[in-house]
C-alpha cells in the first residue's frame, strides 16, 4: 500500500529532528540520481552528434562522387544541373503535383501573351488576320507557284490570317514545301505569327494535292465508299495518310472531314463526299479522320454546319435550303458536329444553307447570328474558330457584295472569312465597320483571341 503524503511528511520531520546524518545521506542519494540522469542525457546527445557527423561525411562523399562523375563527362554531353533532392518516397507525389501546376501556369502565361499581342496590334493588322485567301488574291498575280518578293511585299501590307491553295498552285512536293516555308518566314517576319496554310484535301472526290501528285501519295476511294464499310479505322488511315503528306510539305490546316449526314438521296453536292446516312456512323468516321490528321499536327475543320446532306440545291451555284426544324436537325444532321465538338475539334466551317424553319428567314447560316451565336456557340457549347464557307460562292454573291458579306460574317459570329470574291473590298469593308463602330473592338478582339491561341500554341509546339 502506498503511504499517504501526510504520513511521509511526518516521517521526514521526525528524521530531521532525530538524526541529521540521515538527512545528509538522503541529499547525497538525490544528487547521485541527478548526476546519473545528466550523464545519460550527455551521452545521448554525443551519440546523436556522432551520427550526424557520420551522415554529413557520407553526404560529402556522395556529393564529391557526383561532382567527379559530372567532371568526367565527355564534351557535348548533357550537363544540366541536378534538381533538388527529393526523398524517394515523395518523388512520385511531387511529380504529380508538378504536372498539375505546370499546365495551369502555362495556360495563364499563354493567355497573357495573347492579351499582350492583341494590345500591340494595329486595327489594320487585326482586320487582316480575319481572312484566309488565295495567294493570287493576296499578291494580285494571276498564278502563284513560288513565294518571292511579291509575296513578302503583299504580306507586309496585308498580314492575313491564312492562305488556301488549289491545283494551280501545285507543281511538286519540293516546290510546295519551299513555297510554304517562305510564306511562313515572311509572315513571322512581318507580324510574329504563323499563317494557317490550308487546303481542301478530303480524299476521294476532293483532293487538291493528290490529284496533282498522283502516285507520289496514297490515293483513296470516295468518302461514301469508306463510310459504307462502317470501319472507323479506315477513316483514321485516310486522315493519317493525308496528314503525313500535308504536314511534310508545311500545311497545318485541312478543310476536312465532311461531317454532313446524307439524308437526301437527290443531293449531288456531298453525295460522294459524305460518310453516309447514319449519323452515328458518320460521327465515328469523322472523329477517327480528325485523329489521323492530328497525329501529324494538322488541324481538321468539320463542314458544312449545320449539315448540307438534306439539301437539293448547290450553294456554289445559288440558293440552297432545308425545311428541317432544329429538333429534326439535332436528332440527325447535328450529331457528328456535336460529337466532334465534344472530341475537341478546333475549326468549324458554316455552310451557306438557309434554314427557314429554324431562323424564320432565308439568310444563309454562314451569315446568321442566330445559327452561329445561339445554336453553335450557346446550345452546342462550341468555343473554337468558326469560319465561313467560301464567300465567293453564288449563294452569297447573288445577295451581297464582298464588303457587305464580310461585315455580316463577322457580326454573325464568324472568326475568319474564307475567300471573299473581292479581298480588297472585303478588307476595306471590315476596316470601315470597325472605324464606324459597327464592329466593336470587343467583337474584333474576341475573334483575335481564338485565332492567336491556336497560332501561339502552334509556335510553342503544342497542338492539343
Return the pLDDT at 462.
54
Mean pLDDT by 10 residues, the chain (464 residues): 42 42 46 49 48 49 46 40 38 44 75 97 99 99 98 99 99 99 98 98 98 95 98 98 98 99 94 98 99 98 97 89 97 99 99 98 98 99 99 98 99 99 99 99 99 88 54
The answer to whether the CB of 450 falls within 8 A of the CB of 130 is no
Neighbours of 375 (CB within 10 A): 22
Cell of 128: 487582316
Return the pLDDT at 106.
86
Q: What is the rounded CA–CA span in Å between residue 110 and residue 116?
A: 10
The angle, 0 to 180 degrees and rounded to 10, between the axes of the packed helices 232-249 and 173-191 is 70
Q: What is the CATH number of the domain that holds 206?
A: 3.20.20.300
Return the pLDDT at 15.
40
Decide if 267 is inside a domain: yes
Decide if 455 is inside a domain: yes
Domain total for the chain? 1
Return the pLDDT at 460.
59
Decide if 90 is inside a domain: no
Return the pLDDT at 312.
82
Decide if 47 is inside a domain: no
Decide if 71 is inside a domain: no
412-430 pLDDT tens trace: 999 999 999 999 999 999 9
The answer to whether the CB of 209 falls within 8 A of the CB of 218 is no
Decide if 52 is inside a domain: no
206-207 vs 201-203, strand pairing mode: antiparallel
Is there a cis peptide before residue 355, judged by omega within 30 degrees of 0? no
Give the 3-state DSSP-derived string for the chain, with helices as H, strands as E and coil as C.
CCCCHHHHHHHHHHHHHHCHHHHHHHHHHHHHHHHHHHHHHHHHHHHHHHHHHHHHHHHHHHHHHHHHHHHCCCCCCCCCCCCCCCCHHHHHHHHHHHHHHHHHHHHHHHHHHHHHHHHHCCHHHHHHCCEEECHHHHHCCCCCCCCCHHHHHHHHHCCCCEEEECHHHCCCHHHHHHHHHHHHHHHHHHHCCCCEEEECEEECCEECCHHHHHHHCCCCCCHHHHHHCCCHHHHHHHHHHHHHHHHHHCCCEECCCECCCCCCCCCCCCCCCCCCCCHHHHHHHHHHHHHHHHCCCCEEEEEEECCCCCCCCCCCCCCCECCCCHHHHHHCCCHHHHHHHHHCCCEEEECCCECHHHHCCCCEHHHCHHHHHHHHHHHCCCCCEEEECCCCCHHHHCCCCHHHHHHHHHHHCCCEEECCCCHHHHHHHHHHHHHCCCCCHHHHHHHHHHHHHHHHHHHCCCCC
Return the pLDDT at 23.
47
Decide if 7 is inside a domain: no
347-350 vs 299-305, strand pairing mode: parallel
Is there a cis peptide before residue 257, judged by omega within 30 degrees of 0? yes
Name the residue range of residue 315's domain: 119-459
Return the pLDDT at 456.
93
Decide if 233 is inside a domain: yes
Amino acid at each position: 500500500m502506498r503511504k499517504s503524503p501526510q504520513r511521509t511528511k511526518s516521517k521526514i520531520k521526525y528524521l530531521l529532528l532525530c538524526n541529521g546524518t540521515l538527512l545528509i545521506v538522503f541529499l547525497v542519494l538525490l544528487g547521485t540520481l541527478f548526476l546519473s540522469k545528466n550523464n545519460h542525457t550527455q551521452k545521448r546527445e554525443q551519440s546523436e552528434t556522432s551520427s550526424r557527423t557520420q551522415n554529413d561525411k557520407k553526404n560529402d562523399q556522395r556529393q564529391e562522387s557526383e561532382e567527379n562523375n559530372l567532371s568526367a563527362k565527355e564534351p557535348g554531353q548533357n550537363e544540366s544541373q541536378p534538381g533538388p533532392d527529393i526523398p524517394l518516397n515523395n518523388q512520385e507525389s511531387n511529380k504529380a503535383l508538378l504536372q498539375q501546376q505546370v499546365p495551369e501556369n502555362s495556360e495563364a502565361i499563354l493567355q497573357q501573351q495573347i492579351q499582350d499581342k492583341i494590345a500591340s496590334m494595329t486595327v489594320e493588322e487585326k482586320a487582316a488576320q480575319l481572312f484566309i485567301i488565295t495567294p493570287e488574291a493576296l499578291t494580285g498575280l494571276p498564278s502563284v507557284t513560288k513565294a518571292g518578293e511579291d509575296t513578302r511585299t503583299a504580306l507586309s501590307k496585308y498580314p492575313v490570317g491564312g492562305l488556301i491553295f488549289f491545283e494551280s498552285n501545285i507543281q511538286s512536293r519540293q516546290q510546295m514545301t519551299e513555297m510554304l516555308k517562305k510564306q511562313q518566314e515572311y509572315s513571322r517576319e512581318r507580324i510574329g505569327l504563323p499563317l494557317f496554310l490550308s487546303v481542301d484535301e478530303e480524299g476521294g472526290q476532293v483532293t487538291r494535292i493528290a490529284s496533282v501528285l498522283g502516285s507520289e501519295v496514297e490515293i483513296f476511294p470516295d468518302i461514301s465508299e469508306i463510310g459504307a464499310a462502317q470501319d472507323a479505322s479506315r477513316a483514321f488511315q485516310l486522315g493519317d495518310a493525308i496528314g503525313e503528306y500535308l504536314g511534310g510539305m508545311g500545311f497545318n490546316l485541312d478543310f476536312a472531314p465532311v461531317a454532313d449526314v446524307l439524308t437526301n438521296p437527290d443531293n449531288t453536292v456531298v453525295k460522294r463526299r459524305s460518310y453516309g446516312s447514319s449519323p452515328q456512323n458518320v460521327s465515328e468516321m469523322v472523329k477517327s479522320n480528325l485523329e489521323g490528321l492530328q497525329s501529324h499536327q494538322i488541324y481538321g475543320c468539320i463542314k458544312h454546319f449545320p449539315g448540307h446532306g438534306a439539301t437539293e440545291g448547290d450553294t456554289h451555284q445559288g440558293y440552297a435550303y432545308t425545311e428541317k426544324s432544329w429538333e429534326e436537325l439535332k436528332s440527325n444532321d447535328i450529331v457528328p458536329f456535336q460529337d466532334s465538338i465534344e472530341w475537341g475539334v478546333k475549326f468549324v466551317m458554316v455552310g451557306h444553307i438557309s434554314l427557314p424553319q429554324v431562323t424564320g428567314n432565308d439568310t444563309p447560316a454562314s451569315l446568321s447570328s442566330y445559327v452561329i451565336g445561339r445554336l453553335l456557340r450557346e446550345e452546342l457549347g462550341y468555343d473554337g474558330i468558326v469560319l465561313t464557307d467560301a464567300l465567293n460562292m453564288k449563294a452569297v454573291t447573288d445577295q451581297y457584295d464582298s464588303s457587305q458579306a464580310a461585315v455580316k460574317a463577322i457580326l454573325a459570329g464568324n472568326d475568319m472569312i474564307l475567300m471573299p470574291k473581292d479581298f480588297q473590298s472585303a478588307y476595306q469593308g471590315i476596316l470601315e465597320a470597325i472605324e464606324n463602330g459597327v464592329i466593336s473592338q470587343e467583337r474584333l478582339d474576341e475573334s483575335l483571341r481564338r485565332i492567336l491561341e491556336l497560332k501561339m500554341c502552334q509556335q510553342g509546339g503544342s497542338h492539343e
